[in-house]
C-alpha cells in the first residue's frame, strides 16, 4: 500500500491497553512470518463473520439483547465496513447483572476449589477446540494478522489453565498461639463480585486474565469488554458457560463506557474493580472506587517502554527483535518497545537493520495469509500517528521509512521509523500506541538510565547488552514493573503483570494476580 496522509480524529481515550504473550528474542508468539493458508481458511473466516449477527449480553446465565434496543455499529478495521451491531445494556440490564452477580457469588464462593478448577480447565479445553473460529472473529473485529490472533487465543486458554491449577494452592497458614487454648489461623477468601473493564487491543488475553483470576478465587464477575471487539470476549464467556459455570457467576455487558463504569462502581454489590486502559480514565475510576466504598482496585494503565541498546549487544539480532515486537499488533501494545535509545557505537547499524525490517512488513487485512501487519483498530488513531510524525519533522527528526497513512480502505498506517530525535520530541515523551518508532542516541549507562526513567510511566522496560555488570545495573536501575534484558518475555501466565508510577498498581498474572481477588482474614479461636 502506498502513502496518503490522514487527518482523521483521535479515538475516545476510554480503554486502550492490554498485554499479549511475548516470547524470547525473535519473532512474536504466533506472528512474524505469514501463516500458511489451509483449504478451510476462507470458510473459517466467513463462518466467523456470520457469528457477529448473534452478539448478545450475558446476564444471569442467559444471552439477551439490550433491554431498550440501543446498539452501535461494529466495524471491520481493515475495510471500515460494518460487521454487526453491539447491543447496549440499559439501567435495568445493569441492575439485573448486579443482582445476578450477587447471587452467583453466594454460590461460587462456596463451591469447592477442586470444582472451580474443573470448570476452568474445561473452559480452557473449549477455547482450544474453538481456537480457529475465535481467532477469525478476533482478526475481523480487531485487525491483527490471523497468526497473531491464533497465538493470542492459545494464550488465553493457557491463562485459564494456569489459574485453574492455582485454585489448588489457595493456602492459609497457622500462627503459633500464645497459649494452649487458642488457635490462630490466616485464611484467604474471595473479595466479592468484581467489575472488570477491558480494552480492544488484546480482546482475548485481557478478558481472560480478569475472568480466570476472578473465577479461580471464587468471585463472581461483571465484565465490560470494549465495544470495538465484543465477539472475542463473548466467545470466551460461551466457553465458560458451556464448561458448566453456574448462572450469574459471569455476566457481560456493553454500552457507553463512562456510564457503565460509573453505574457499576457506585453499586454496593461490587467489591473489586479491575481496569486496563488509559491513565486518565484509570485515575477517574480509582477515585470513584475510593468514594463509593473504598473498593479494591487493580489498575493496568499506560506505558511508553524504553529500550536501551548497548554497543556490546548483538546489534543486528537486537534490531530485528525490536522491530518485530514494536510492530506487533500495529504497535497497539501497552508493553511494546516504544522509545529506543541506542549507544553511539551501535546506532548506525541498529537503525539500518531496524528500518529494513520495518520496511519489509506487508500491510493488509489480518485475514490475508500474506499480511504481516494489520490496520489500526479504528480511524481515530490515524491523526495521532500523523501528529507524532509532524512533530518529529518540526524538531529536526528524519523519517527513514513510512510516515503516512496507507492508501485504500481501512485504518492502515505505514510502519514508521523516526531517527535523530531529541528527548523533547512528542514521540519520545508520549505513548505512540501505534506503528511509529522513535530512535535516539546515548553515550553512557548513567545517561541511558536517566533518560529511560525520566517519564511518569513505569510499565515495561527493555535492554540489550552482553555485559553482566551492565545487566545487573539495568535490573536494579530501570524503573518499571517489568524488565526484559535481552528478552521480551515479560508477559506470561505464571508471572506478575503490572506497572509502577502512573502506569498503575496491582498485578495480573502469577500468584499476585490471584491474590488481587482475595482478602486475608485472621481468625483467633479460643476454647471456653
307, 252, 294, 280: which is closest to 439 by C-alpha? Answer: 307
DSSP 32: S
CA 103 centroid distance within chain? 29
Torsion of CA 362, 363, 365, 370, to 10 degrees: -10
SS (H, E, C) 39-107: CCHHHHHHHHHHHHHHCCEEECCEEECCCCCCEEEEECCCCCCEEEEEECCCHHHHHHHHHHHHHHHHH
**Phi/psi at 221 (5° precision):** -150, 135
241, 130, 156, 247: which is closest to 508 by C-alpha? Answer: 156
Q: What is the rounded radius of gyration, in angstroms, for the C-alpha atoms of the chain?
A: 23
- Contact assessment for residue 242 and residue 236, using Cβ atoms and an 8 Å cutoff: no
- Give residue for cell 479504528: 378
DSSP letter for each residue of 330-382: GG--TTSEEEEEEEHHHHHHHHHHHHHHHHT--B--TTSTT-SB---SSGGGH
Residues that are catalytic:
300, 334
260, 312, 326: which is closest to 90 by C-alpha? Answer: 260
Exposed e or buried b for every residue in 89-101, given b needs 16+ CB within 10 A?
Answer: bbeebbbbbbebb
The helix or strand, by DSSP H or E, that contains position 168, with its residue range, turns out to be none
- Give residue for cell 524488565: 483
Burial class (CB in 10 A: 0-12, 13-18, 19+), 393: middle
**Phi/psi at 197 (5° precision):** -130, 125
Other Cβ atoms closer than 10 A to 60: 16
As a whole number of angstroms, the distance between CA 167 and CA 180 comes to 32
As a whole number of angstroms, the distance between CA 447 and CA 528 comes to 66
210, 45, 28: which is closest to 134 by C-alpha? Answer: 45
**Cell numbers that stand for 503 in this block:** 502506569
Helices and strands, number each (H, E), in the chain = 16, 20
467, 76, 109: which is closest to 271 by C-alpha? Answer: 109
- CA of 526: how far to CAs of 106, 172, 189, 218, in Å? 28, 18, 21, 28
- Contact assessment for residue 119 and residue 240, using Cβ atoms and an 8 Å cutoff: yes
- Contact assessment for residue 120 and residue 229, using Cβ atoms and an 8 Å cutoff: no
Amino acid at each position: 500500500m502506498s502513502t496518503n496522509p490522514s487527518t482523521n480524529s483521535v479515538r475516545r481515550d476510554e480503554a486502550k491497553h492490554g498485554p499479549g504473550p511475548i516470547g524470547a528474542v525473535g519473532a512474536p508468539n504466533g506472528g512474524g512470518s505469514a501463516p500458511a493458508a489451509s483449504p478451510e481458511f476462507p470458510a473459517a473466516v466467513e463462518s466467523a463473520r456470520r457469528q457477529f449477527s448473534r452478539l448478545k449480553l450475558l446476564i444471569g446465565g442467559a444471552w439477551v439483547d439490550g433491554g431498550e434496543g440501543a446498539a452501535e455499529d461494529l466495524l471491520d478495521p481493515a475495510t471500515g465496513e460494518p460487521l454487526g451491531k453491539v447491543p447496549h445494556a440499559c439501567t435495568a440490564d445493569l441492575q439485573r447483572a448486579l443482582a445476578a452477580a450477587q447471587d452467583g457469588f453466594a454460590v461460587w464462593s462456596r463451591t469447592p476449589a477442586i470444582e472451580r478448577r474443573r470448570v476452568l480447565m474445561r473452559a480452557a479445553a473449549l477455547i482450544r477446540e474453538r481456537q480457529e473460529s475465535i481467532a477469525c472473529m478476533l482478526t475481523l473485529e480487531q485487525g491483527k494478522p490471523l497468526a497473531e490472533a491464533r497465538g493470542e487465543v492459545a494464550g488465553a486458554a493457557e491463562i485459564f489453565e494456569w489459574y485453574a491449577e492455582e485454585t489448588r494452592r489457595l493456602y492459609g497458614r497457622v500462627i503459633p498461639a500464645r497459649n494452649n487454648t487458642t488457635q490462630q489461623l490466616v485464611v484467604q477468601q474471595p473479595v466479592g463480585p468484581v467489575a472488570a473493564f477491558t480494552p480492544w487491543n488484546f480482546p482475548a488475553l485481557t478478558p481472560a486474565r480478569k475472568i480466570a483470576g476472578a473465577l479461580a478465587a471464587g468471585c463472581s464477575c461483571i465484565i465490560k469488554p470494549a465495544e470495538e471487539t465484543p465477539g472475542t470476549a463473548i466467545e470466551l464467556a460461551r466457553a465458560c458457560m458451556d464448561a458448566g459455570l453456574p448462572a450469574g457467576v459471569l455476566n457481560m455487558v456493553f454500552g457507553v463506557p463512562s456510564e457503565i463504569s460509573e453505574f457499576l462502581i457506585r453499586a454496593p454489590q461490587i467489591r473489586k474493580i479491575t481496569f486496563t486502559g488509559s491513565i486518565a480514565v484509570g485515575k477517574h475510576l480509582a477515585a470513584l472506587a475510593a468514594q463509593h466504598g473504598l473498593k479494591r482496585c487493580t489498575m493496568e494503565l499506560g506505558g511508553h517502554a524504553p529500550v536501551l541498546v548497548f554497543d556490546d549487544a548483538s546489534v543486528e539480532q537486537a534490531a530485528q527483535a525490536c522491530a518485530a515486537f514494536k510492530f506487533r499488533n500495529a504497535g497497539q501494545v501497552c508493553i511494546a518497545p516504544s522509545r529506543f535509545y541506542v549507544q553511539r557505537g551501535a546506532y548506525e547499524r541498529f537503525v539500518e537493520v531496524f528500518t529494513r525490517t520495518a520496511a519489509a512488513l506487508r500491510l493488509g487485512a489480518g485475514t490475508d495469509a500474506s499480511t504481516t501487519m494489520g490496520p489500526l483498530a479504528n480511524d481515530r488513531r490515524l491523526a495521532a500517528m500523523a501528529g507524532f510524525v509532524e512533530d518529529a519533522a518540526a524538531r529536526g527528526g528524519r523519517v527513514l521509512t513510512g510516515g503516512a497513512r496507507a492508501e485504500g480502505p481501512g485504518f492502515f498506517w505505514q510502519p514508521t521509523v523516526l531517527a535523530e530525535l531529541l528527548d523533547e520530541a512528542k514521540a519520545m515523551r508520549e505513548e505512540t500506541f501505534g506503528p511509529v518508532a522513535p530512535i535516539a542516541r546515548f553515550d553512557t549507562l548513567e545517561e541511558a538510565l536517566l533518560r529511560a526513567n525520566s517519564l511518569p510511566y513505569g510499565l515495561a522496560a527493555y535492554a540489550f547488552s552482553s555485559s553482566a555488570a551492565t545487566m545487573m545495573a539495568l535490573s536494579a536501575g530501570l524503573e518499571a514493573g517489568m524488565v526484559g534484558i535481552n528478552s521480551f518475555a515479560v508477559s506470561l501466565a505464571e508471572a506478575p503483570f503490572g506497572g509502577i508510577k502512573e502506569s498503575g498498581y496491582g498485578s495480573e498474572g502469577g500468584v499476585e494476580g490471584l491474590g488481587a481477588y482475595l482478602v486475608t482474614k485472621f481468625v483467633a479461636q479460643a476454647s471456653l
